[in-house]
Amino acid sequence: MKAFVKTGNRPGEAGIEDVPRPAPGPDEVLLRVASCGICGSDIHAFNSDPGFEWVRPPITLGHEFSGAVEEVGPDVSDVSVGDRVVAVAIQGCGECEACESGST
């Protein structure tokens, strides 16, 4: 399968790569991506901007995406193959008042 991968730590070291098809583990699903956006954080990572040193290549860019469930791993019961979904790729801290109230 194809992915847009940041391949190095210098600005612009990225490109379309063939990557292995992952297999979903427990509580995971495999999605067939239908649409993917590129946001500001992807551009900062692509450019190796200050503050994005935590991005460790090789890493697939593009965390804003939607698609259809293609395969479900063990213990998955809330979605089924064929369901259309939007991924939540950035979560809150899970500990602050907003997160504890369900507003991650």
Q: pLDDT digit string (tens) for 44-80? A: 999 999 999 889 999 999 888 999 999 999 999 999 9
pLDDT at 19: 94
- Contact assessment for residue 25 and residue 5, using Cβ atoms and an 8 Å cutoff: no
Report the domain count for the chain: 1
Greater confidence (69 vs 95) lies with 69
pLDDT at 103: 77
User: Taking 80 as the threshold, does the pLDDT of residue 43 lie above it?
Assistant: yes
CATH of the domain at 48: 3.90.180.10
Residues 6+ apart with CB under 8 A from 104: 88, 91, 92, 94, 98
Which residue range forms the structural domain that includes residue 67? 2-100
pTM for this structure?
0.75
Q: pLDDT digit string (tens) for 6-29? A: 999 999 999 999 999 999 999 999
pLDDT at 47: 95
- Contact assessment for residue 7 and residue 14, using Cβ atoms and an 8 Å cutoff: yes
Q: How far apart are CA 69 and CA 54, in angstroms?
A: 29
